[in-house]
């Protein structure tokens, strides 16, 4: 592993960082919220807000790794600050000579993927990064990288708020004006964080909730059903012969079909159902109803898809099951998958319900 390089403006960078008086400070909820959103937006198990000091990296907030400090020479983010205008993306640390011998690659937490968006001041000085990491090699889609850049801007804005508060303490005569500015900035931050959180739970193509949102909703619904004994059913929807549509007509046509099906699944026959896109051509339907009623709703959804107006006629197969108190989430999905397999094996364009053993 190479020893770290320093930016050309290192002296000015360290002076700017010291001016924020943030290195070594205790955890703060505002920064913790940012890393939670970063992990959700990029679908990674690890995320952090880091600040690169003279000889150490201070981890201000994190999920999946410990908050604290590490040597600067072991820091991934010390490489990210070398180019303040660009994200640093390392698809596979084992293939990168800068990181393959890094102790956080060779040992716990076994980082194989890294993406970091520099924390850049208005003067163009990079102080650290908002970064996400995974224990497997991977890449990030463009919209996830944009979200990471947005969160880095929010982290800098939060640092500005902290510094403004210090100034506020030393200018009591101007307190009212500073408080107004502080509150307005906080409102803007809260609104933008809410928008980012919503984006992290939404499928960009169809506008439906995504897999992560479905997982959160199922956890809540299952806990509620277990507590009050109410019914709960889960269905997996798969577009029939979707690969053939992509192969014959191209992926733009496939995207049109996905949007078409998403709209049909949300039509009045599915009122009251939670519908999300799992990925590819698969959707999930969660209903707080007995299996028989859930079957009727899914049948109405299937018919709605068949009747839906689009460039390409399309049908769906649906595998359905009910949840029982002894189930794990994986059990529910496995039964619904088996029911879906039976629906396809029986000729597709149908709903098959499977009772728990």
Separation CA 192–CA 344 (nearest Å): 43
pLDDT of residue 167: 67
Catalytic residue check, 69: no
Return the H-helix or E-strand segment holding 247. Answer: helix 242-249
DSSP, res 5 = P
Cα-based distances in Å from 174 to 28, 162, 170, 179, 185: 26, 16, 9, 9, 17
Q: Which of 24-38, 119-133, 257-271 has the lowest mean pLDDT?
A: 257-271
Going along the chain from its start, the domains and CATH numbers come out as: 10-200 (3.30.450.40), 211-354 (3.30.70.270)
Per annotation, catalytic residue among 256, 281, 282, 299: 281
Residue whose token pair is 């699944």: 265
Question: How much is the average pLDDT of 107-124?
Answer: 94
Asked if residues 178 and 163 have their Cβ atoms less than 8 Å apart, the reply is no
> Which of the four pLDDT bands, split at 50, 70 and 90, describes residue 83?
very high
Separation CA 147–CA 154 (nearest Å): 11
DSSP, res 86 = S
Q: Which of 57-61, 139-143, 305-309, 316-320 has the lowest mean pLDDT?
A: 305-309
Separation CA 74–CA 109 (nearest Å): 13
3: how many CB neighbours lie within 10 A of its CB? 7
Separation CA 28–CA 60 (nearest Å): 8
Minimal CA–CA distance to 286: which of 240, 331, 242, 333?
333
């Amino acid at each position: 592993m190479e020893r770290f390089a320093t930016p050309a403006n290192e002296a000015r960078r360290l002076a700017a960082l010291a001016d924020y008086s943030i290195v070594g400070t205790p955890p703060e909820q505002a920064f913790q919220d940012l890393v939670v959103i970063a992990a959700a937006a990029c679908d990674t198990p690890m995320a952090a807000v880091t600040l690169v000091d003279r000889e150490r990296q201070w981890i201000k907030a994190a999920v999946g790794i410990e908050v604290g400090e590490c040597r600067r020479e072991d820091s991934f983010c010390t490489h990210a600050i070398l180019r303040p205008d660009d994200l640093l993306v390392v698809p596979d640390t084992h293939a990168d000579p800068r990181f393959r011998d890094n102790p956080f690659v060779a040992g716990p937490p076994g980082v194989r993927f890294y993406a970091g968006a520099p924390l850049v001041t208005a003067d163009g000085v990079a102080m650290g990064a908002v970064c996400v990491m995974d224990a497997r090699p991977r890449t990030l889609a463009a919209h996830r990288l944009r979200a990471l850049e947005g969160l880095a801007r929010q982290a800098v804005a939060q640092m500005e708020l902290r510094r403004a508060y210090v100034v506020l303490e030393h200018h009591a005569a101007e307190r009212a004006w500073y408080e107004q500015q502080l509150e307005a900035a906080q409102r803007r931050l809260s609104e933008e964080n809410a928008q980012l959180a919503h984006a992290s739970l939404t499928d960009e193509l169809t506008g439906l909730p995504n897999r992560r949102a479905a997982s959160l909703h199922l956890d809540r619904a299952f806990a509620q059903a277990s507590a009050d004994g109410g019914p709960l059913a889960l269905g997996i929807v798969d577009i029939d012969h979707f690969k053939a549509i992509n192969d014959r007509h191209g992926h733009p046509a496939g995207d049109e079909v996905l949007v078409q099906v998403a709209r049909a699944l949300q039509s009045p026959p599915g009122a009251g159902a939670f519908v999300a896109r799992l990925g590819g051509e698969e959707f999930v339907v969660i209903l707080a109803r007995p299996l028989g009623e859930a079957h009727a709703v899914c049948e109405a959804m299937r018919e709605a898809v068949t009747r839906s107006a689009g460039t390409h006629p399309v049908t769906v197969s649906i595998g359905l099951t009910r949840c029982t108190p002894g189930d794990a989430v994986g059990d529910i999905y496995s039964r619904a998958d088996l029911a879906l397999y039976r629906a396809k094996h029986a000729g597709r364009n149908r709903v098959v319900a499977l009772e728990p053993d």
